[in-house]
Structure 1
C-alpha cells in the first residue's frame, strides 16, 4: 500500500488514518503489536521518519503506546471523561498509562545493563 500522491493530506496523516481505521475496525485488537518501523515503511513506501511521525499522531490520540525496545502496541481506546463510569476517570487512566511507560523504560534499561554485565 502506498500513500496517494494526489491526496492533499501529508503522508503521515494518510498513514495515521489508515492505521486508525485498522484499529477502530478491530483488525488490530487491543494489545496487538504493530509491525516494526522498517516493515511499516516498506508497506507504505515511505521513510521510517514518516512512519514515526504517523505513529506519534496515534500516540497523541491514545490509540497506541510505545514500549521502549519492544515496539508499538494498540491500547484500549481512550475514554471520554463524560463517558467514564465508576471511580476511574480519564486523568487516572492517563496517569497509569504514563507510569506503565516509565516502568517499561526502566525495565529496558535494566535489561540493557544486565546484557552488558553478561558480556563482560
Structure 2
C-alpha cells in the first residue's frame, strides 16, 4: 500500500510538472499568435486601401454565391475570371477606373478566404 501511495505522489508531481510545462508552452504559443496578428494588422493598415477591402469582400461574395449554383472548381475559376476581367476590361480598356494589380491580388485573397 505504501508503494502505491508513493507512486501516486510521483504521479502527482509528474502531472504538476507537466501542467506547468503546458502552461509555459501555451503562453509562448499565445504570444506567437499575438505577434502574427500584430503583423497582419500592421500589413493591412499600411498596405490595404479602402479599394483593396472592397475587392477582398467582392472576391468572397462572388465565390460564395457561385458555389451554391455551380461546382466548386467552376466557381473558383469564374470568380478569378470576373476579378481579372473587371480590372482589364472595365478599368484598363473602358477606363471606368484605375487598373491596379493590387486589386486583383486582394480579390484573389478574398477568393481564398471564401474557399476556406
Tell me the TM-score normalized by structure 1: 0.30
Larger Rg: 2
Larger RCO (alpha carbons 8 Å, 6+ apart): 2
From the two aligned structures, give the one with the greater strand fraction. Answer: 1
Larger fraction in helix? 2
